[in-house]
Amino acid sequence: MKIKLTKPFTAFTLIELLVVIAIIAILAALAVPALTSALAKAQLTGTLNNGRQLYLAQFSMANDGAATGDPLLAWCGDQNAGAGAASLEAFLNSVVGP
């Protein structure tokens, strides 16, 4: 007499797997708009913080008396003295973003 000691192998059916995949797809579709808006808010916060830092740097420079003469020269330095507002705009775009 043979005695079988192992359990029979059971697995998920195809329907069960498809239901789980459908549920995961629905949850992912619901999460995408929330993530997109959170990403936009984070980018806006970063841009506002960069603008605030630029304001504080300019205010501090004015209080220290370093902002005498051409303010573009103070921002861009001697190497860009002839560039004028174009180099300041390029600098601000690189820090704050277009």
Task: Tell me the per-residue pLDDT of 11-30, one tens digit each, with 9 for 90 and over.
Answer: 889 999 999 999 999 999 99
In a domain, 53, yes or no: no
Q: Is residue 82 part of a domain?
A: yes
- CA-CA distance, 56 to 61, in Å (whole number)? 8
- Note whether residue 93 is domain-resident: yes
In a domain, 95, yes or no: yes
Q: Does the structure show a pLDDT above 60 at 47? A: yes
Alpha carbon 69 to chain centroid distance?
A: 37
How many domains does the chain fold into?
Answer: 1
pLDDT band at 55 (very low <50, low <70, confident <90, very high): confident
> Does a structural domain hold residue 59?
no
Per the prediction, the chain carries an average pLDDT of 76
Residue 74 has pLDDT above 70, yes or no: no
86 found inside a domain? yes
The verdict on residue 87 lying in a domain is yes
Containing structural domain, residue 94: 73-98
Q: In this structure, what DSSP letter does residue 95 have?
A: H
Beta-carbon-side half-sphere exposure of residue 22 (alpha carbons within 13 Å) = 6
Q: Are 58 and 8 in contact (CB under 8 A)?
A: no
pLDDT band at 43 (very low <50, low <70, confident <90, very high): very high
